[in-house]
Every structure is written in C-alpha cells, then in structure tokens.
Amino acid sequence: MPPAPRSPAATTVSSNRGELSNAEILLWQGRFRRAFVGLVGFGTLALKWAGVVASDSVVAQRIGTHQALLWCAAMVAAYLALNDGMMLWVRRGGTAGHAAIATANVADIALLFGIVYFATPPADYARALIVSIFTVQFTLVFVGPRATLYSLASVSLGYIVIVAGASDAGAVLSMGEHFWTLALYLLGTTLFVLLQGQMSKRLQRIVQVFERAQEGDFSMQYDESLDRMPDAITVVGRAYNRMRGHLETIVLTDPLSGCFNRRGFDQLVTREVSRAVRGGQPLSVLAIDVDHFKKINDEYGHLTGDEVLREIGALLRETARLGDVVARIGGEEFEILAPDTSADGAKILAERIQAAFDTRPFTSVHGERKITVSIGIASEIARNDQVANVLIARADEALYVAKRNGRDRAELWEAGLRAFDGSAPARRSLVIPAVADMN
C-alpha cells in the first residue's frame, strides 16, 4: 500500500520530533483492524452458525440463533465500512484529529460489546473485558493516558449496558458478581496504565537525549537515577551514556586533523556566542590557511599532504589556549574561535601560531620544506547572535588580504579593509557553509 500523503504539520511532527502523527496511527491500526475483525469476527460467526460453538445469547433466545448471528454479521460489515471510510478520509487529508482517534476507539468498543451481547451467553460476558485489554493497550501506547481513561470509561459503560440488558431479560442471577468482575478488571487495567505511563515518560526522556544527539549536542545524558524500577529502558540509557563520548568524537571531530569539524565548530560557536552576549565579552576569530598547500600535494603526493594536515592540526591544538576552539573547516583551511579575547589578544595568539610554524620541522616532509600559514583576524564585542557570522566574514577577508600581501603573515580586519570588489561577502557562515579554494 502506498504511503499516505501528509500535511506539512503532520510531517513536522513525525520527522522532526520523531513522534507518530494521529494519521499514521490510524492508518496502520486501520489495516490491523480490518484484518483482525474480518478474519476473527466472521470466522467466529461462521463457527457459531455451523453449531460448532454454542450460541445461547439473550438475543438468540428471543429472535433465534441465526437471526442474532445475522445481526452480528451486519455489525461487523458496518464496522469494516466505517473503518475503510476513515482510512480513506485520513489518507486523502493527510491529518487526523483527536476526534478521529476517539471515534475509532468507540467503534471498537461498540462492536466488541455488540457482538458479545448478540452472540455470547451472559455467563461469558467477561470475554469482552479480556478482549478490550488490547484496545486499551493500543490507546495507551499510541495515543496517551487521557484517551486511555476515556477507553476505560467506554468499556465500563459497555459492560454495564449488556449486563443490565441481560438482567432485564432475566438471564443474570447475580449483578454483584458481574460488577465484581468489572471492578477487578478496572483495578488490573489501571495498574497496567500507570506502569505503562511511567515507561512512556522514560522513553520520552530517551527520545529527548537522541534528539539532542541528532543535533550534534551530546551534553545531555540519560538520568538513570530517576528509574525507580530499572528494566530494559534503563539498559538502553546506560548503553547510550557509555557511548556518548565516542559518538561525540565521531560526529564532531575531523578524523584527519583531530580538530573539530565544521559541525562541531558551529555548535561550539553557538554556545560561546550565547555566553559572550550575556556577558558582553569580546570574541575573536582566526581564519588560517596553509600557504601553497597544493604544491605539497603535487610534489609529495596526497598521502603526505594528509600527514602534513595531521601535524598541522596537532600543532594548532598545542598552540591554542585551553578555551579556544580549533577546527578544520575544509581542505587546508582552519579556524580558531578565541572566547574572551580582544584584538590585541588575538594578534598575540596569531604571532604564537606563526612562531610555532617557523620552529616546527614537519616530519611528514622530512624537514625539507618550510610550511607557513596566512592568518586573518577579526575581533568584536558580542552584542547579538549574529556576531559569529560577522567575525567569520571579516576574518576571511583579512585572510585574503594576508595572502595577497605575500602570505606567511597575519592581518587584522579593520574598517575600510577590502580584499574584494564591492562589499565584503563571507566565504562561509554558520547558516550556509561554503568553502572556496584560495590557492
């Protein structure tokens, strides 16, 4: 069966938040209802019609067994028609409200107790309560506890109605026994609902953890101390907590240089910018590009070029300060975010980096070739969340100026500095990344 079209709202709920929409629930449950009711319902009626199973219900005693079973068959057919109609409506509209869920649940319960009343002797009315457990469980798992309470109320009402009908016909000798059966059913299902509700809340906590991880944020861990009754969900949470550090390294780190990758850099920049804006602190960005890196690849090969990038990444991490964020943005391009750093501090950091390159014999090229970098610097007081994009654009422009002026140097962006025609476009931003070749 082709997937049902969904409205933008339904798509957002199910794909962005990882939840099932009402439409999805009704469609898959509708297919299950059709198969279950069609096979079991008509199969059971066929057995009763053939006399394999006794049929001495209250209604059968009044109008005859076959006539009562015909009424049951009509109820099953009407239910299937209603179910198919709802599925068609949901498939065309792509959405379904809570009223549609409630209608489906009421139809389930009405069909169940209707068949029981028409085809089952009063002594076996408890069968309806047993079967209704499946309806209650489906409602709890896929809709929620509030709808489950409505289902329990509907089940109780349906059971009372058929017992009262049988009592009026003189077929029930002790109403108290039936009400005691109903009380035990409500007690057991209520305990089940409470237990399942606790499990659903814990599953939601795991979903929140994975949603944060999907966004590249691994700061949140599963709090197993809230699990009063540890079970399989707790085991999953513990497994995630053990893997959290490894996942963060895989997702946010560039495997070649050992620095953060672009995703990790953007995430940490967002965090540091928020902190800097709250405190009105300065931020600095250093855009770093390896000079004539293409020649290294041409002369020594790409494998050696990768080794050079590995050494450069290690050197930048060693030279940067503890709170600095060092990232490989792409190719031979690196960036450093320096929190709480003014323009003077950023220039000192750039000088340290260039001094480290001047004194470092790169073993990957056997110390035969001096490797230098050009650096663009931009600094600003963090006044709003757009400061990161502004600093990245300015640092890129200052980097172009450094390369144009002879490379192996650092340039600080200042008002009036222009490396491009017209206004200064950003080579990269946190919103729409793009890398350009500056060699």
Mean pLDDT per 10-residue segment, the chain (439 residues): 37 43 83 82 78 76 86 90 90 84 87 88 88 84 80 92 88 81 91 82 84 76 79 83 79 90 89 91 95 91 93 95 93 94 95 94 86 95 91 94 93 79 43 35
Q: What pLDDT, on the 0 to 100 scale, is given for residue 260?
A: 92
The Cα–Cα gap between 32 and 46 comes to 21
Check whether residue 87 and residue 124 sit in a common domain. Answer: yes
Check whether residue 308 and residue 240 sit in a common domain. Answer: no
Report which of 72, 145, 63, 65 is spatially closest to residue 110, judged by C-alpha positions: 72
Check whether residue 306 and residue 356 sit in a common domain. Answer: yes
State which residues form the domain around 162: 8-173
Count the neighbouring beta carbons within 10 Å of the beta carbon of residue 186.
16
Check whether residue 295 and residue 382 sit in a common domain. Answer: yes
Q: What pLDDT, on the 0 to 100 scale, is given for residue 12?
A: 33
The Cα–Cα gap between 378 and 354 comes to 17
Q: Is the pTM of this model over 0.95?
A: no
How many domains does the chain divide into? 3
Q: What pLDDT, on the 0 to 100 scale, is given for residue 342?
A: 94
258: left (phi over 0), alpha (psi -120 to 50) or beta: left
DSSP letters spanning 13-61: IIIIS-PPPHHHHHHHHHHHHHHHIIIIIHHHHHHHHTTSS----HHHH
Residue 432 lies in a domain: no
The Cα–Cα gap between 213 and 437 comes to 32
Check whether residue 15 and residue 160 sit in a common domain. Answer: yes
Residue 439 lies in a domain: no
- Please enumerate in sequence order all residues whose Cβ is within 8 A of that of 335, keeping only pairs 6 or more positions apart, or say none: 265, 285, 286, 287, 288, 326, 327, 329, 392, 395
- Structural domain ending residue among the three candidates 173, 200, 215: 173
- Structural domain ending residue among the three candidates 197, 217, 252: 252
Cα separations (Å) of 62 from 65, 166, 169, 379? 9, 12, 9, 92
Report which of 431, 370, 437, 374 is spatially closest to residue 402, judged by C-alpha positions: 374
- Judge contact between 304 and 363, C-beta under 8 A: no
- Structural domain ending residue among the three candidates 252, 283, 306: 252
The Cα–Cα gap between 169 and 159 comes to 16
